[in-house]
Copies of this chain bind each other. A is one copy, B any other.
Amino acid sequence: MHFASLLAALLQAAAPAVPAMPVPAASAADPVEADWRTIPDDELLVMTLAGDRRVVIRLAPRYAPVHVDNLRKLARARWWDGASVYRVQDNYVAQWGDVTEKKPLPAGIIANPPPEYVGTPYDAVTKMTRRDPYAANSGHSADGWPVAGDGKGAWLTHCYAMVGVGRDMAPSTGSGAELYAVIGHAPRHLDRNIALVGRVVEGIEHLSSLPRGTGNMGFYAPGEAPTSILSVRLASELPAATRPRLQYRAADNVRFAAWVKGRENREPPFFTVPAGGADICNAMPPIRRAPAK
């Protein structure tokens, strides 16, 4: 028996008895397979726009539980079906819901939830090297959310593709029926002033490339057609075969920390001056489609 064949036979024989060796990361900043964690089906909201454009939102129930509970009820009541994206303001937000703001809310919706703007405790497991103008600390929660904080409270940050709740003047917090996604430079001044409820993790381009509204604040003017929303569903409501299967990269490991350092210090041959820092919105946790089983 050749040595290679012998080795293969031994390995095969040993396979059931010992755990599979993890595939090592190619570099210190690369994930291993176990770093990818599947997002639960009831934390994914699937919005289908006219033209079969699919936008998938990861919900953040840990940060805004009452608002997210409203969103789930609105989806289950099919409240957004037939609604529209009625406001697209360049370098700011795309907003959707019921443009008339007159459609009755389903039973069980809390019309004005508590201001779920700042939670406790501050649970970031990474720390950006330098502070930004908006918070003493910023980093990533273990489950892949961008967070800022002051050592006590934590809040999600208004980065590109984050989803927030449209509201009237304070103390209104908004029910969640009217939502927006950030489609420009991060409007971090909104942090702690508005409820963030999730992040577009697939299909943000279907919102960011929509025609801008020419009305006040980017609302569509008469004659400009809003984009129709065909349906909004929790992934858990969809047939299994059509559910998005998405994974976030867990942040509670040395590989992720090395990845953050890499974002802060871009490398030659393209870069000649590493910044030595980055803002949290330039270090958004990677998301991927789950590999085929």
Contact = CB atoms under 8 A, between A and B. Distances in A.
Interface string A245-256: 000000000000
Q: Size class of A's contact patch?
A: 35 or more
Contact of A278 (B91, B129, B189, B282): B189
Given A170-B268, A268-B170, A272-B193, A188 B279 contact: yes
A279 B205 CA distance: 25
B209 A212 contact: yes
Which has the most chain B C-beta neighbours within 10 Å: A134, A204, A211? Answer: A134
Which has the most chain B C-beta neighbours within 10 Å: A117, A189, A204, A263? Answer: A189
B204 A91 contact: yes
A279 B132 contact: yes
Interface in A43-66: none
Contacts of A128: 133
Interface string A197-213: 00000001100111110
Interface stretch (A21-29, A179-187, A233-241): A179-187
Interface string A205-242: 10011111000000000000000000000000000000
Contacts of A268: 170
Interface in A142-189: 159-161, 169-170, 184-189
A192 B133 contact: no
A270 B193 contact: yes
Contacts of A192: 272-273
Contacts of A8: none
Q: Which 10 A-B pairs have the closest CB atoms?
A: A133-B277, A130-B133, A169-B269, A192-B273, A205-B212, A160-B185, A90-B205, A170-B272, A189-B275, A133-B279
Interface of A: 88, 90-91, 117, 128-134, 159-161, 169-170, 184-189, 191-193, 204-205, 208-212, 263-264, 266, 268-273, 275, 277-279, 281-282
26 contacts: A90-B204, A90-B205, A90-B209, A91-B208, A130-B131, A131-B131, A132-B132, A133-B277, A134-B277, A160-B184, A160-B185, A169-B270, A170-B268, A170-B270, A187-B282, A189-B263, A189-B271, A189-B278, A193-B270, A193-B272, A205-B212, A209-B209, A209-B210, A209-B211, A209-B212, A279-B279
